[in-house]
Amino acid sequence: MWMAHPSADWKSKAPRPPHGTSTFSMQDSLPRLPVPDLDAALVKLDKTLVPLAKNIKELETARSKIQALSQQGGLGRVLYGRLCARANDSNIVNWLEGFWDEVG
């Protein structure tokens, strides 16, 4: 699948807000973006997939993968730990921003 990759400095090339507007003026006073709880997110994912699954086998396969992500010491927990560490990194303003800019 082809995906456009934005320029690394796309923000510097973006147009500035019109003079006299207050866009982003309170950005520095906002609280840090929280990382959603992994277990709660997996429960929501499971509920969301029920009406989307083409058949029971597809739903069971997805549920098996969700279960694997939730296991202690599993890949889901490892990645969640990394995400939480990123969120707590004082050098990163918003843990989601880089993902959103590059992939979203």
| Backbone phi, psi, residue 78, to 5° | -65, -50
Structure tokens at 31: 């609280």
Q: What is the pLDDT of residue 4?
A: 55
Identify the top-confidence range among 2-6, 71-75, 93-97. Answer: 71-75
Q: Is 70 exceeded by the pLDDT of residue 101?
A: yes
The structure's pTM equals 0.74
Residue 35 near residue 83, CB atoms below 8 Å: yes
Question: Helix and strand tally (H, E) in the chain?
Answer: 5, 0
Instruction: Quick: pLDDT tens for 11-52.
Output: 778 888 888 888 878 888 889 999 999 999 999 999 999 999
Q: Convert the pLDDT of each residue in 68-79 to its tens digit.
A: 999 999 999 999
Closest CA to 45 of 28, 31, 62, 57: 62
Could you tell me which residues come within 8 angstroms of residue 10 by beta carbon, excluding any fewer than 6 positions away? Answer: 101
